[in-house]
Amino acid sequence: MKITDKHIISIVSAQVGIVSRPFKSCAVELGTREEAVVGFLRELKNAGVIRRFGAVLNHYSLGLRTNALVAWKIDADHIDAAAQKLLLFSSISHCYWRKKARHWPYSLYTMVHAKNKKECLFIIGNAARAIGNPEYRVLFTVKELKKRKADIPALLSRKVFKKG
């Protein structure tokens, strides 16, 4: 069987086990060498198709039941420094920069995960002090809606993604 880009993407986008060499197990499933899979993924990264390959943890299974999106009012000149400091907090899982809106002066966004609301506010307070106590807004999660992975093989089968 000829291995196509679609085959490789389908295998590596499925749930990968916690093993020392995840791409080797993907290669075994594809009937190819680990180097071929890694090389293909490196090409996609270099082309800007993918940014990274990483694990996603289920924070609820760790007992982290409270989540908050924090919108920070940070000057553009200080975005990178603030982001680097905020990402030192293990309870902060995401950090995004967005352009300020007309009536919304916040430009840096982080997700904070904690056991409860009190702990979450404590973490946010420490994070604020670490970056000079800027103005910020806390938006607690009211209800987490169903999350699901993108169906990469289905996306690849669409005409818009086909080569040629």
Q: In the chain, where are the structural domains located? A: 5-55, 59-140
pTM (predicted TM-score): 0.66
Q: By the 8 A CB rule, do 119 and 102 touch?
A: no
| Separation between Cα atoms, residue 156 and residue 152, nearest integer Å | 6
Q: Encode the chain (164 residues) as per-residue pLDDT tens digits.
A: 566 777 777 777 776 777 888 888 888 888 888 998 888 888 888 888 777 776 666 777 777 889 999 999 999 999 999 999 999 999 998 899 999 999 999 999 999 999 999 999 999 999 999 999 999 999 999 987 766 666 666 666 665 444 44
At residue 148, the pLDDT reads 66
At residue 122, the pLDDT reads 98
Query: Pairing between strand 66-72 and 136-140?
Result: antiparallel
Q: By the 8 A CB rule, do 82 and 74 touch?
A: yes
At residue 108, the pLDDT reads 97
| Separation between Cα atoms, residue 106 and residue 104, nearest integer Å | 6
CA 13 and chain centroid, separation? 14
At residue 83, the pLDDT reads 96
At residue 21, the pLDDT reads 87
| Separation between Cα atoms, residue 10 and residue 156, nearest integer Å | 9
At residue 151, the pLDDT reads 67
Query: Is CATH 3.30.70.3460 correct for 59-140?
Result: yes
Cβ neighbours of residue 69 closer than 8 Å, sequence gap 6 or more: 109, 110, 111, 138, 139, 141
Look up the CATH number of domain 5-55: 1.10.10
